[in-house]
Amino acid sequence: MTPINIDRCVCYDTTFAAIDAWARAQSRVVTREDVRKEFGCGGGCKLCQPYIACALRTGQVVFHEIRVEEEID
C-alpha cells in the first residue's frame, strides 16, 4: 500500500512547512485565523484546518493519515 503524504493546503497550494516557518517567525502566538488571513489557507474547502491546527501546535508538517477533528484555537 502506498503511504499518503499530506503536506499542504491544496486550495492555496501552500505547504504546511511554509506555514510553520512563517508562524515561527512571528513574535506571537499564531492562530488558524492568522494563517487564513496571511495565506488564505483554511478559507476554501477547509479540509486543511485540522492539519494547520496540528502544525501550529506541534510543528508537524507532513501527515500520513486523514485528520478530521477540529482544534480550538
Give the interface with ligand FES as residue ranges (CB under 6 A).
9-12, 41-48
Cell match 494563517: residue? 35
Q: Shortest distance, CB of residue 14 to ligand FES, whole angstroms?
A: 8
C-alpha cell of residue 14: 501552500
Q: Which CB atom, from 8 or from 27, has the smaller least distance to ligand FES? A: 8
Q: Which CB atom, from 27 or from 69, has the smaller least distance to ligand FES? A: 69
Element (H, E) at 15: strand 14-15
Q: Which CB atom, from 17 or from 47, has the smaller least distance to ligand FES? A: 47
d(C-alpha 21, C-alpha 61), whole Å: 10
